[in-house]
């Protein structure tokens, strides 16, 4: 039976539609509550360390597979199983967060990640590596769902968009540096330093997480069932993030090949530009969302995403590619935090775990569908054609959110 003792002094705002204005629940004329508390900063620091460890390992796994004697199929499985395991555990993770609290699930995810990364050092065959990737993926699913839910607990209602902007920035910023560091460490075929550094950073994330004073929230997961696995009001923004990441996956998977196809050459600066734009845009767009409304800001971001895809599909030079990185990065960095804030805004604290689980499940599913679908399309049409096709989910998302903006006026905080 789930524990019956409330964990919370945070008031239940009652289940209201997630389209209500930001700031609901704060007294009229009351001073804005601070965002930059010690606990919020510890959470961001923990996420920076955690994702630095993740991005050290992920890009180097194909090299590790080759060192073990595996081929491209094994490399694909190693990467795919990680995402699959994370996606599978997310619904149950959301229910557990609402039923048993945030701290235990966050620690389970971090501990699984530390020990799994360390265990890579003793891998001698592909079979054991696949098992470890499944376990690491499960730990990633636990950690990210718990951390996202905790971020929504710590951020004041009137600054939820801004809080999600900084939270997603902490998750994404290591991508700009960690892959290059990981590849450099494993360049001589010795992966020991790589795994020790990644495990050490993840242990540092665990240490910072242990210092967070987790807000006590009402527990309301109830019995495990299909109804309690997902928060129904979160399905609309989850659909939006699914469509968004369907456009992102082909860029992530095929941009290097696209550079060769178009005769552009080195596309490495694309990701650097993309990361810098995200770092600038995410906090700013979060503030805009708190004032302008999450739906409107998400729709604006999706329009920029579509524009970035058009520029990318037409790009035949390095300058065009960089322009696509700037515009698409601005759109992605604007829409993702707004959709994440929209997922939990207006959701009772006792159901935020289930809501955040729906968001991350949709995120993973969009990456998987976009990668697989993009790969199938690439075998029939050009990669530029793949990016033209990627406009379809972007257009659907724009239309879907645009209709809701017209039907439901969004007030400022």
Residue 12 per-residue DSSP state: P
**pLDDT tens sequence across 337-349:** 899 888 888 777 7
> What is the arithmetic mean of pLDDT over 42-46?
97
pLDDT(409) > 70: no
**pLDDT tens sequence across 179-237:** 888 888 887 778 999 999 999 999 999 999 999 998 877 666 566 666 667 777 788 88
**pLDDT tens sequence across 52-93:** 999 899 878 878 888 888 876 777 778 778 888 999 999 899
pLDDT at 219: 65
The HSE-up count of residue 352 (CA atoms within 13 Å, CB side) is 30
pLDDT(407) > 70: no
Question: For the chain, which domains are there?
Answer: 36-217 (1.20.1250.20), 228-413 (1.20.1250.20)
pLDDT(11) > 60: no
Question: What is the rounded distance in angstroms from the CA atom of residue 203 to the CA atom of residue 301?
Answer: 35
Q: With helix as H, strand as E and coil as C, how does 305-359 read?
A: HHHHHHHHHHCCCHHHHHHHHHHHHHHHHHHHHHHHHHHHCCCCHHHHHHHHHHH
pLDDT at 410: 47
pLDDT at 20: 36
From first CA to last CA, the distance across the chain in angstroms is: 39
pLDDT at 221: 56
- Residues 6 or more apart in contact with residue 265 via CB below 8 angstroms: 259, 318
Question: What is the rounded distance in angstroms from the CA atom of residue 289 to the CA atom of residue 299?
Answer: 11
**pLDDT tens sequence across 259-316:** 878 888 777 788 788 888 988 898 888 888 888 888 899 999 999 999 999 999 999 8
- Residues 6 or more apart in contact with residue 201 via CB below 8 angstroms: 49, 50, 52, 53, 56
pLDDT at 24: 36
Confidence of residue 107 (pLDDT cuts 50, 70, 90): very high
> What is the arithmetic mean of pLDDT over 96-102?
87
């Amino acid at each position: 039976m789930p524990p019956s003792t409330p964990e919370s002094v945070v008031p239940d705002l009652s289940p209201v539609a997630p389209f209500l204005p930001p700031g609901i629940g704060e007294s009229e004329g009351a001073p804005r509550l601070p965002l930059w508390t010690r606990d919020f900063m510890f959470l961001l620091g923990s996420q920076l360390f955690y994702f630095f460890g993740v991005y050290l390992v992920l890009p180097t796994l194909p090299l590790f597979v080759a060192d073990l004697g595996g081929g491209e199929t094994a490399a694909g499985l190693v990467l795919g199983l990680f995402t699959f395991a994370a996606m599978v555990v997310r619904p149950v993770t959301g229910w557990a967060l609402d039923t048993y609290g945030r701290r235990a699930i966050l620690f389970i995810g971090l501990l699984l990640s530390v020990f799994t990364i360390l265990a890579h050092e003793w891998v001698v065959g592909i079979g054991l590596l696949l098992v470890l990737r499944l376990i690491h993926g499960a730990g990633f699913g636990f950690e990210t769902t718990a951390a996202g839910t905790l971020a929504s607990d710590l951020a004041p209602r009137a600054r939820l968009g801004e809080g999600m902007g900084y939270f997603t920035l902490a998750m994404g910023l290591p991508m700009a540096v960690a892959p290059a560091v990981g590849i450099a460490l494993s360049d001589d075929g010795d992966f020991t330093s790589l795994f020790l550094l990644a495990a050490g950073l993840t242990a540092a994330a665990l240490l910072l997480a242990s210092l967070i004073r987790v807000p006590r929230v009402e527990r309301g997961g109830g019995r495990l069932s299909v109804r309690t696995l997902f928060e129904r009001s979160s399905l609309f923004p989850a659909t939006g993030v699914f469509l968004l990441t369907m456009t992102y996956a082909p860029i992530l998977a095929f941009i290097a090949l696209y550079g060769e196809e178009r005769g552009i050459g080195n596309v490495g600066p694309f990701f650097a530009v993309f990361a810098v734009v995200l770092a600038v845009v995410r906090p700013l767009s979060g503030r805009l969302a708190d004032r302008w409304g999450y739906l409107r800001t998400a729709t604006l971001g999706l329009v920029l995403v579509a524009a970035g895809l058009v520029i990318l599909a037409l790009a035949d030079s390095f300058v065009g590619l960089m322009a696509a990185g700037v515009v698409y990065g601005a759109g992605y960095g604007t829409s993702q935090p707004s959709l994440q804030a929209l997922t939990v805004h207006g959701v009772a604290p006792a159901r935020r775990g289930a809501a955040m689980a729906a968001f991350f499940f949709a995120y993973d599913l969009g990456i998987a569908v976009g990668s697989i679908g993009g790969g199938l399309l690439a075998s029939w049409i050009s990669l530029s054609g793949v990016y033209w096709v990627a406009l379809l989910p972007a257009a659907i998302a724009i239309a879907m959110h645009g209709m809701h903006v017209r039907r439901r006026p969004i007030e400022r905080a």
